[in-house]
Structure 1
Amino acid sequence: MQECFNLRRDRHGSRHVISGKVVIEHGPGLSGPGKSAAVQIHSTTQTDPNTGKGKLSEKACLKKGKSRKKDGTKITTYKIKLHVEPGFGNPGAFVIENNHKHRFFLQSATLVIPGNRFIHFDCRSWVYPIEVTNASRVFFSNTCYLPNQTPAGLLELRKEELESLRGDGTGERKEWERIYDYDVYDDLGNPEKGPDYDRPVLGGSDAYPYPRRGRTGRPASKSGNKCIHTCVCVCSSLLLHLDLNFVSNHWPETISFDVYVPADERCSPKKLSEFIANAIQATAHFLLPEVKSSSHDSSSFESFDEIRELYSENRGEAIREESVMEKVKKVVPAELFKEVTHKFEYDIKFPLPQIIKANQFAWKLDEEFGRQMLAGTNPTRIRCLREFPPRGTLTESYIQISDIEENLDGLSFEHAMIQWRIYVLDHHDYLLPFLRKMYSAGVCPGATRTLLFLRNDCTLKPLAIELSYPGSFDNINGTKTMVILPEEEGTLQALWQLARAHVAVNDYAYHQLISHWLHTHAVVEPFIIATRRQLSVMHPVHRLLDPHFKDTMHINALARTVLINAGGILEKTLFTGKFSMELSSELYKEWRFDEQALPSDLIRRRMALNESESPIGAHILFQDYPYGLDGIDVWLAIQTWVGDFCNIFYEDDASVKSDTEIQAWWSEIRNVGHGDKRNETWWCQMTTKENLKHTLTTLIWITSALHASVNFGQYTYAGYPPNRPTRCRKFIPEEGTMEFAEFLKDPDKYFLNMLPDKFQATLGMALMEVLSKHTSEEVYLGQRPTSEWIDNKEVTQRFKKFSECLREIEKQMLERNGDPELRNRRGPAKVPYKLLYPDATKVEGITAQGIPNSVSI
């Protein structure tokens, strides 16, 4: 729109008036800003020669506020009238000055032009009082411009805004600041509490490479690691304050919610209150007498029936006298407490996990064991075997081919490999250097390699489990290795069950630390920081990516304070213990961004064939791989949408190369955000439209579908500890030992004693329950919080097409789940595969479905 608007003259005839509205959210008990907030608009076409910025209108205060409540949130709509000089030109940005005593959330603004024409500003940002910020806020309209297309009046504003977001890399960040910068993971340890809390700095070295995180500027401890003085995550904080000092004697005794992430990256108050309520509900299990008593003696479950009692009704009667809410009130901010109490219920029970809902014994079956490698919470580790022993193995394999050939449906092992029917779930070599370090009282670490055969019905039949564990202490670097073969009954079947538990423990730790944390949460944060620092909100790619970054930096900050820190929940539950993040760093050495694209990942693992004629360049090897088949559909939908979007704004390769913001963005990601991999040759050069499309498709895939596939099924499978235990407390007993005699006396009891104790199991279940829930304000793939997120009709039409495509994919997924020929879609446990089903708005609780736009939990 290059012409000037035909603006209405005011009553004096010398000026023109632009009217509009501003929509603001504010917290309970807080008044709206009203006349304490003033607005001015900038022209896009007329430049002020003194500032180089677009001409400014006169100031206009917010007036005639009308309030309403929506889902408990107070929303006030104010009217504005802005006086401008004749020939002012098109409004393209506005400045708002908050002289009120409170911050407020600016939802949107709309300027109304005669002739029913509108200019929308999708703001969705916190505006703090000017007395602390010393500056007004600038917001740009929903019209997107590549850098070289920016109207003259917005050029200086665009540059100035980006510079303010980068900061100068110094000082401790304050709540109201909007500064994005990078730092290494030097805040996980707390050595001032003793050597057991010392952790290496991750990132910035060859020994411990890692993606960068957002810089907070908190003071460092005496040893150089930044101490955790504040705790934002409520889950562990509440454990401590609910008289559960046994959880950790080293967590903070005063709780604060002020750890820094830029305000626009924070979870909303409503989401935070839901998260707190979910955490209270989960951690209230620890007030039950049987759990509290078990925390002191590492007691085991006595029977499988005792585990099932965790899901029974009316367990909350035992804690009514504990005055839970009185204790919660001490740690939850006052403005959230009322909302939290409405959501908490005294009916303390864990939901019945789907894995045992239809068939409580299905988890014991080998078919279900293999199915979960294809359709469970960690379907990205299994791969088709190219050669045996697997390439790059550190030790000679003890698996004898002659022992497993009888289970190959008449094929020789060599022919089965040629037909791409031998698979491996490998958790062996990367663990070997850590085993002796991980061994401790109550932790019996093992490294496993599991071979499987793809049967004619596309189910996976386990062939053998190779297990290595620390050898005798007179051989410090040595390991012992055994091979366990599947059996259907008797003592050998019970031993096989123990071996499977060690495999599940390995897979659970790899899933949490690598597939989930590293490959989604951690690797995405540098992309978020670079986007905020280098891409203006006017940049179309910023608009495209913005919903896929929602809440991620805040969630990661929570993780650093309670999940992945020294003494945190993952160290207390996983067998990897204090070496968890060190192991994560070691496996980051293998990470490649180009291999995070689903087609590349499937081809690398030989789960798909390289096929140039396919729209995605790959053809899945067999149709009954639920993660792969559903994933390809979702990937193709994202790829098409991203391609359509980029084609609207970029004419050719030259327009990508000349985009100064995109080039700076990509350079910063490679050289700073993932700076420990700056010299890798697999990074693309970002010189073509295809480079850009593929990069954006991969990034959106990681933040949405990949994260959903490895997160929201956690309680479904790990909510029942025998199916996916977090650690083993016993090794597999060797014949002739006292342990073997104990095992023979009661194999089930030996198995239960091998699992995590009651406290560890309950803590892990509570975490899975919290992480597997969607919040009510979640926005899913193919959705946006508002239809006015961009001022481009062609984009909105393409986005509608994308949404419609996802709805068709949902129908296909439901049809597949109903096909009895596709046995891996439901399996013996009758758990339908819906982890890549895009929408979850019509269901509540732990749904095991839905693809949120972002890594938001």
Structure 2
Amino acid sequence: MATYEVQVATGDVFQAGTTNSISITLVGTEGESAKTKISHTFLTNCAKSKIHCEQDLGPILLIHLYKERILFEDAWFCNNVCVTSPLGKVYRFPCYQWVEGEIPLQLREGTGKTLSDEEYGILKQHRRYELEERRAVFRWKTFAEGWPLCLDVDSVEDLSSDTKFSYIRAKNFHGIQTVQIYRMAFMGFLNKHCSWKSLEDMEKIFSKIKRRNTVPKYVASHWSKDTFFGYQFLNGTNPVVIQKCMELPDKFPVMQEMVASFLGADTNLRKEMQEGHIFIADYEILEGIPTGTINGQQQYIAAPLCLLHQDSTGLLRPIAIQLSQTPGPKSPIFLPSDHEWDWILAKTWVRNAEFYIHQIIIHLLKTHLFGEVFAISTLRHLPTCHPVFKLLIPHFRFTLHINTLARSVLINSGGIIEKGAGASYEGLLMILKRGLEKVTYVSLCLPDDIQARGVSSIPNYYYRDDGMKLWTAVASFVSGIIDFYYTSDESVQRDAELQAWVKEIFMNGFLGRESSGIPSSLWTIAELKKFLTMMIFTCSAQHAAVNTGQYDLGAFLPNYPSSMREPPPEVKGRYSLQLFLDTVPTVATTAQNATSLLLLSSTLADTRFLGQYPEEHFTEQKPKRLIRAFQEQLQEITEEIEERNNPVELPYNYLNPKQIENSISI
């Protein structure tokens, strides 16, 4: 007689327990136990039982969990199962999913295994069966031509339970949304389809949430200053657009005499370019984008070029702005020496261009949509026991839910973005399509991107400094995990599941475009490590950098206008404060956008921050030690950031690990 002790842990989530009957079967190399009931009554927390077998079952490979209704169907969230053999060996079976219906759930022992590491045919069969089931659930579809493929569901109601928001998160999400909509309606903003009366009136839009007040007020006081305009290229919501300018493009004919007074004594434009002090932001991707109407009023888009200069103190300032890609009499180059409102308006057109590039390409495409591609391919090609699945799955938490929700209410035809932006729906689709055509692997890998844009030495670039520390920490963590499971480049090459996984990411996420440099196969351990580091960084730190500050920096309308109601100026000297107010969005559009920005940059209940892994997918001791070391690195980064921020007038905290969520879930 052999007796096994079984402990079943129920998850700590809303309504995780069940009134249904739970039974278990153990499957070992030498036999299978009888089906044994674990619970007859309400199952919560941990339930223990003993299983008596006529003989030792050998190493335990699988367990079968059965949930059978007593009075009615009652879903159950299982955390994990532990089985202790007669000789005291403990087998751990991670689960962390909802068990629904009466179809038995098979779980395998939690040791990470690649396909080539499998010793037993029954486990190879289990891998195939698990992936077949997943592929039937997680299917691809095309949302728009030229976009990455996405999950084939029509609404969040169609999602599996394990990919939906938790109850507490959903309640918090809808609560914030409802409160803000009612607040805007109560104050009468949502029905005012007219211009703001003054800049001061715009501050009334600010949320009364206390922690949200500081930065928007700072922005309202500094938005028109050239130094703050330049600062945002480094540490704003879109800190990845500027690049060093060593030679001016023909389409941007800035002359020395135009900018001489802004460069300082004893220098000139050519010298400043050669010394690496001139930077450029080019919004060519917006050229010819079709515009739409908001409440019947025509909207406009520009495709500007902006030249910036880093002065001797390290501050970055704009020195020339052209609002089209075609120079000429109707496309003047605006300068800081122009009339106040001419110059402010030119900068505001750049900020409007920033809105489109940031929201559609940098935020939506390069974090949300790529994160979804990574998640779907992982679920379709890597079984639960695969070490890469174990590494990545915490970084996809709620991503499928938030993206499905976005396709339903945010980026759909007639959705929130179309209603508040100047581009038509077709224009919005076109911006993202053009963005995808220009995406490169270099742009997704922070160290390579910093080098490629020539911004490795520009001072006060907190996004770069904090991001590089985080990239290094993630890379170190990934390296330790991969070295534990892969012993050679050949072990990567012969991992058929891994190769199918990266191939599908390349084909469905990047549409098979070889010029992107995105790998379609992985040949070395080093390539695998870099690819995984990019994925985790994208789904955590990069998303935080371009998402968390949206309300902070965008709540004050002139700093982040989503639409422009007058065409770009073709001559100088005609603008005033009133014409400015009649160009930027109306009161109602401002209120709608502010509500969305507040919601999308909120930290919701049930958030898991970078490095927090309460679900123990790894059961071996080495990965657990690596997780602890990763957490210690993140704590050190937090302390360094907070020390740096102490004397800073406007602290940069968006890449503080304490504010970075593990996954794209908002």
TM-score category by the smaller chain?
A: over 0.9
Q: 1:679 to 1:809 in 2, by over 3 A?
A: closer
Aligned letter for 2:36?
A
| Cα contact 1:33–1:98 (8 A) shared by 2 | no
Shift of 1:17: 3.3
Where 1:778 maps in the other structure, the secondary structure is coil
Question: What's the counterpart of residue 493 of structure 1?
Answer: 340
The correspondence for 2:151, drawn from 204, 210, 214, is 214
Question: What's the counterpart of residue 172 of structure 2?
Answer: 274
Shift of 1:398: 4.3
Deviates further, 721-730 or 546-555: 721-730
Residue 4 (structure 2) pairs with residue 17 (structure 1): yes
Unaligned 5+ residue runs, structure 1? 1-13, 47-54, 68-74, 168-178, 186-200, 203-208, 219-229, 233-257, 314-348, 391-395, 472-477, 608-619, 820-825, 840-849
Question: What's the counterpart of residue 549 of structure 1?
Answer: 396
> CA offsets per residue over residues 798-833 of structure 1, 9 Å max, x none?
2111111111111221232235xxxxxx4xxx3200
Shift of 1:554: 0.9
Question: What's the counterpart of residue 64 of structure 2?
Answer: 95
TM-score, structure 1 normalization = 0.73
Residues of 1 paired with 2:367 and 2:222: CA distance? Answer: 30
The correspondence for 1:791, drawn from 613, 616, 619, is 619
Question: What's the counterpart of residue 288 of structure 2?
Answer: 433
The correspondence for 2:494, drawn from 651, 658, 663, is 658
Shift of 1:382: 1.2
Residues of 1 paired with 2:499 and 2:410: CA distance? Answer: 35
Aligned letter for 1:810?
T
Residues of 1 paired with 2:506 and 2:290: CA distance? Answer: 33
Question: What's the counterpart of residue 27 of structure 2?
Answer: 42
| Cα contact 1:120–1:141 (8 A) shared by 2 | yes
Question: What is the correspondence of 1:631-780 to structure 2 with a 5 Å cutoff?
Answer: 631-677=467-513, 683=519, 685-733=521-569, 740=574, 743=575, 747-780=576-609
The correspondence for 1:517, drawn from 343, 364, 373, is 364
The correspondence for 2:302, drawn from 428, 441, 446, is 446
Unaligned 5+ residue runs, structure 2? none
> CA offsets per residue over residues 711-769 of structure 1, 9 Å max, x none?
001011001112211111123556699xx3xx4xxx32322222211111001000011
Aligned letter for 1:537?
T
Shift of 1:122: 2.6
Q: 1:590 to 1:38 in 2, by over 3 A?
A: same
Residues of 2 paired with 1:441 and 1:398: CA distance? Answer: 34
Question: What's the counterpart of residue 805 of structure 1?
Answer: 633
| Cα contact 1:26–1:104 (8 A) shared by 2 | no
| Cα contact 1:210–1:676 (8 A) shared by 2 | no
The correspondence for 1:372, drawn from 198, 219, 232, is 232
Residue 536 (structure 2) pairs with residue 568 (structure 1): no
Where 2:559 maps in the other structure, the secondary structure is coil
Q: 1:732 to 1:164 in 2, by over 3 A?
A: closer
Aligned letter for 1:752?
L
| Cα contact 1:353–1:720 (8 A) shared by 2 | no
| Cα contact 1:436–1:470 (8 A) shared by 2 | no
Residues of 1 paired with 2:7 and 2:291: CA distance? Answer: 68
Aligned letter for 1:60?
T
Shift of 1:450: 0.7
Shift of 1:399: 3.0
Aligned letter for 1:778?
T
Deviates further, 84-93 or 355-364: 355-364
The correspondence for 1:411, drawn from 264, 267, 277, is 267
Residue 146 (structure 2) pairs with residue 159 (structure 1): no
Residues of 2 paired with 1:81 and 1:643: CA distance? Answer: 40
Residue 299 (structure 2) pairs with residue 299 (structure 1): no
Question: What's the counterpart of residue 337 of structure 1?
Answer: none
Where 1:361 maps in the other structure, the secondary structure is helix
Residue 651 (structure 2) pairs with residue 852 (structure 1): no
> CA offsets per residue over residues 245-289 of structure 1, 9 Å max, x none?
xxxxxxxxxxxxx2x233322111221111111111222134225
| Cα contact 1:470–1:480 (8 A) shared by 2 | no
| Cα contact 1:504–1:723 (8 A) shared by 2 | yes
The correspondence for 1:183, drawn from 129, 134, 141, is 141
Residues of 1 paired with 2:486 and 2:213: CA distance? Answer: 48
Shift of 1:369: 0.7
Where 2:297 maps in the other structure, the secondary structure is coil
Residue 100 (structure 2) pairs with residue 128 (structure 1): yes
Residues of 2 paired with 1:590 and 1:384: CA distance? Answer: 18
Aligned letter for 2:591?
T
Aligned letter for 2:116?
N
| Cα contact 1:468–1:480 (8 A) shared by 2 | no
Where 1:430 maps in the other structure, the secondary structure is helix
Residues of 2 paired with 1:736 and 1:802: CA distance? Answer: 55
Residues of 2 paired with 1:434 and 1:479: CA distance? Answer: 22
> CA offsets per residue over residues 42-97 of structure 1, 9 Å max, x none?
22x33xxxxxxxx4321122326577xxxxxxx44333333334130122322222
Question: What's the counterpart of residue 503 of structure 1?
Answer: 350
Residues of 1 paired with 2:58 and 2:289: CA distance? Answer: 66
Aligned residues: 659
Q: 1:19 to 1:685 in 2, by over 3 A?
A: closer
| Cα contact 1:65–1:77 (8 A) shared by 2 | no
Question: What's the counterpart of residue 55 of structure 2?
Answer: 86
| Cα contact 2:291–2:422 (8 A) shared by 1 | no
Question: What is the correspondence of 1:8-407 to structure 2 with a 5 Å cutoff?
Answer: 14-24=1-11, 32-35=18-21, 37-43=22-28, 45-46=29-30, 55-63=31-39, 75-100=44-69, 101-113=73-85, 117-130=89-102, 135-152=103-120, 153-167=122-136, 179-185=137-143, 201-202=144-145, 209-216=146-153, 232=156, 258=157, 260-288=158-186, 290-294=188-192, 298-311=193-206, 352-358=212-218, 360-389=220-249, 396-407=251-262
| Cα contact 1:453–1:463 (8 A) shared by 2 | yes
Aligned letter for 1:832?
P
Q: 1:680 to 1:444 in 2, by over 3 A?
A: closer
Q: 1:214 to 1:436 in 2, by over 3 A?
A: closer
The correspondence for 2:449, drawn from 589, 592, 601, is 601
